Structure 1
Amino acid sequence: MKTVDIARFIRHIGARDFVSASSMLEDIIKKETNVNTRYALEQAYKTWGTPKQMDEVPNNIKRFIYNVNKNVVLNDLKLENNIRKAIDYIVDTFNKKDLLQSNGLEPVNKILFAGPPGNGKTSVALALSKDMNIPLFKVNMAEVISGRLGETSKQIDNVFREVNNFGKGILFFDEIDTFATKRTYDDGCDKEISGAVNKMLQEIDSINPNILFVCATNVSDELDPALLRRFNMKLWFKNPTREQIEDYIMEYFDKRNVDLDAMILSGIENFKSKSWSDAEMYCEAHFRRIVLDSETIIYGNEWIGNE
């Protein structure tokens, strides 16, 4: 066993990169020539859980974190070319952070996703986790925010500390505007929330470079200016054009070998200022109608009986 191999193995464990650590340990066992040492390593390796088991959320912040298991990858998403290039750049700087840091630079790891709802902000965070093979910690703000004085700041401190110590992952605050808005410092300001926002700003400044810090909002104009200054990349997810919607609908039904009937074609005329999510629900509703051989069409984003 070479000292350099042991050192690399320890670094992987310290970074909680258990996939690399497992691969490293298998390589060490394979190279070991001493029969007794090799046997001892093999027995120790058998006690390990899977990387997925070891990537579990720390117990003391589990109630603050959503369990997200949606299986989505970046190539599944409809993204503008400039948005996709920016996301690829984020991944590249994250994967090459050692090179950047050796030259006095930091990765792009503080990102804001903004824009109207239904255009892929949350899906991109999920896909980044899948494509980069790192865990996603999606913060449940309803659990973090407390009415007790000083409690919200303490819980934000717990989330950042535990995720920083975890070693590698995506810390995702969805709908950050419910928490860090301009109103926090305006008249009638709530001291509890103001103190918690200040705590968050401090934590962002010192976040582990192995953590990708991502926030999402539908109303970026309402965010606290001090928070906006912390991001080293801001991405705007806009509604698709009419042509993009039409192409998506045609592609959706073409993949399923379904001809566009009169009901589908007539509905396309109403697509103005709609989101990708609206287009997806539209397609699913019509495909469900066709599969059931029904005349009834119900869209999941509309009220029934509220005329």
Structure 2
Amino acid sequence: MPRADLLVNLVRAGTQGDQRTFRSTVEAMAAEERAKRHGQLADRLEENLRHQPAQGAKTPEVVRSFDGGHGGLLYEIEPRRGLESIFLDDSVLAPVRELVEEQQRVDLLRSYGIEPRHRVLLAGPPGNGKTTLAEGIAFELMAPLFVVRYEAVVGSFLGETSGRLKRLFDFARTHHCVLFFDEFDTLGKERGDTHETGEIKRVVSSLLLQIDSLPSHVVVVTATNHAELLDRAVWRRFQLRLDLPAPTFAQRVAWFDRFEGEVGMPLGMSTKTLAGRFPAQNFSDLEQFCLDVRRRYVLALPGADIKRIVADRLTQWKGRVGPETAAKD
């Protein structure tokens, strides 16, 4: 059964003719029922939102279709990694854990008239855990992770992108979910940029309005490698603004400590030496290096020599030139 406060809001909105509150309340009810796996009831609530009101005024479209209900604008990732598995500084993980707690104890907060935080902006170089952190939030909340497909959202005709964004947000409102915008600067560009068209500026305005109107059961996480490109009005929309830097030496040592524990044998050199010799530019490099070692170890069984494999992989990785390394040469 829906929460008492939602039922009270629904009755109040109906008696006062407040279509906006009525709609947002039904969306919240549908999201709650879907989270309880009451899919039929959630679908029926959404279906009734499609109907025109008695006065004939047009209401926002709720998209339901064979592709999951979002018109192909999103794809879903099944969260498999929790926050405990993510190597990030406590200055990042601590506020994220607080957000998760607020979402999990939302009934207590609402009994005091407070809504949980639900808008997060992540910035930093590529490969340092922005997507993984969004997955970790979804995992902790036991909610689906919906990732925006820009190739489906961005259209070539006037007004097309804004219309698709509206459909996307209408879908998200009826789900308890994590909505993830990777490379957010694709849509949230600075409107003062003289090189951008009027259409892009209208898209940014539409995007900001949609983010403002999202209910708190939709946790929206945005990520950018180029924070300097974001419109200034974007920043204040987000209650958490976190920077995800490259791994420190201590974090690289901790990463290899954990890896050595997982393989259950010495790596042939101390983890501090390995952390100092490995040219990691980001956490993704660390993860790929360890996967590389595992892969070669499995293929060399039964006579695999982990020490030799680590030394060989280290030599090979030193020969790789990334953009940061190339800039130094």
2:130 corresponds in structure 1 to 121
Query: Pick from 203, 206, 210: which aligns with 2:210?
Result: 203
CA distance in 1, matches of 2:318, 2:150: 26
- 1:302 Cα shift? 4.3
Secondary structure of 2:222 counterpart: strand
Partner of 2:182: 174
Counterpart AA for 2:205: N
**1:217 paired to 2:224:** yes
Provide the C-alpha distance between the structure 1 equivalents of 2:246 and 2:295, rounded to a whole number of angstroms. Answer: 25
After superposition, the Cα gap between the structure-2 partners of 1:208 and 1:178, relative to the gap in structure 1 and judged at 3 Å, is same
Hey, what's the Cα distance between the residues in 1 that align with 2:67 and 2:105? 27
Aligned to 2:145: 136
For residues 116 and 137 of structure 2, what CA distance do their matches in structure 1 show? 15
Q: Distance in 2 between matches of 1:106 and 1:18?
A: 20
Is the aligned partner of 1:105 residue 2:88?
A: no
Cα deviation digits, residues 212-271 of structure 1 (max 9, x gap) = 111011221221111111111111112221122022113202221232126998754334
> CA offsets, 1:62-88, max 9 Å, x none?
411123135211111112222222111
Residue type matched to 2:214 in 1?
Answer: I
Match of 1:17 among 14, 33, 39: 33
Secondary structure, aligned partner of 1:235:
strand
Q: Identify which of 145, 159, 172 aligns with 2:168.
A: 159
Do the aligned residues in 2 keep the contact of 1:281 with 1:299 (CA within 8 Å)? no
Q: Does 1:95 align with 2:104?
A: yes
In 2, Cα distance between the equivalents of 1:229 and 1:104? 22
**Amino acid in structure 2 at the alignment position of 1:204:** I
2-structure distance, mates of 1:70, 1:210: 17
RMSD over equivalenced CA pairs, Å? 3.5
Indicate the residue corresponding to 2:292 in structure 1: 285
Distance 1:256 1:289 in 2: 13
| In structure 1, C-alpha distance between the alignment counterparts of 2:248 and 2:127, rounded to whole Å | 14
Q: 1:252 to 1:13 in 2, by over 3 A?
A: same
Q: Determine the C-alpha separation between the residues in 2 that align with 1:265 and 1:289.
A: 22
TM-score, reference length from structure 2: 0.70
1:118-139 superposed Cα distances (whole Å, 9 cap, x missing partner): 2211111112212211111110
Cα deviations by residue, 1:83-119 (Å, 9 ceiling, x for unpaired): 2221111012222334434434332111111112222
What TM-score do you get using the length of structure 1 for normalisation? 0.75
* Cα distance change, pair 208–57 in 1 and its aligned pair in 2 (3 A): farther
Distance 1:155 1:56 in 2: 14
Asked if the contact 2:65/2:71 (under 8 Å) is kept, the reply is no
Number of the residue aligned with 1:261: 268
Matches within 5 A, 1:67-106: 67-106=76-115
In the alignment, structure 1 segments of 5+ residues that lack a partner are 26-54
Per-residue deviation at 1:190?
A: 1.5
**Long gaps (5+) in structure 2:** 9-25, 42-63
Q: What SS does the aligned partner of 1:63 have?
A: coil
